[in-house]
Amino acid sequence: GENVEQHPSTLSVQEGDSAVIKCTYSDSASNYFPWYKQELGKRPQLIIDIRSNVGEKKDQRIAVTLNKTAKHFSLHITETQPEDSAVYFCAAVITPFRTGNQFYFGTGTSLTVIP
């Protein structure tokens, strides 16, 4: 089955600096890669996603890159703010035609933005 590794497990940055979180996956059938943000005591929320036919996607201060050949994808947060502090999860999703979606999550990165 799919195996997703996520690094680093913890990350501290100064406010205004950039943060990068990296994930690798093993199954080339994975074709969808969402990123979730989970604040303490709250539910995960989708912040950005990328499909396998796209190499990069950006939404304001957040960007995701995907290298299908190397089987890795990364989350980039620029100009970090204290409210970016949370746990971030990557996922690799296999979405076969006419069947269900199989989700495989990374182990999470706890990001702390220091004011």
Partner 1 sequence: DSGVTQTPKHLITATGQRVTLRCSPRSGDLSVYWYQQSLDQGLQFLIQYYNGEERAKGNILERFSAQQFPDLHSELNLSSLELGDSALYFCASSVQAEAGGYNEQFFGPGTRLTVL
Which of 53, 70, 101, 115 binds partner 1 (CB under 8 A)? It is 101
Q: Does 98 bind partner 1 (CB under 8 A)?
A: yes
Fill in the amino acid letter for 103: F
Closest distance of CB 80 from partner 1, Å: 23
**If binding is defined by CB under 8 A, does position 100 make contact with partner 1?**
yes
Q: Is 64 exposed, middle or buried (0-12, 13-18, 19+ CB in 10 A)?
A: buried
Q: Quick one: how many helices (H) and strands (E) in the chain?
A: 0, 11
Residue 106 interacting with partner 1 (CB under 8 A): yes
93 vs 113, beta carbon nearer partner 1 = 93
Please list the residues that pair with 84 across neighbouring strands: none
Per CB under 8 A, the list member of 23, 63, 108, 111 interacting with partner 1 is 108
Which residues ranging from 8 to 67 are in contact with partner 1 (CB under 8 A)?
32, 34, 36, 43-46, 49
Q: How far apart are CA 62 and CA 74, in angstroms?
A: 11
Six-digit token pair at 41? 């005591």
Query: Which helix (H) or strand (E) is 32 found in, with range?
Result: strand 32-38
- Report the residue number, 12 or 45, with the smaller CB distance to partner 1: 45
As given in the structure block, the two tokens for residue 73 are 């994808």
CB of 15 to partner 1, least distance (A): 27
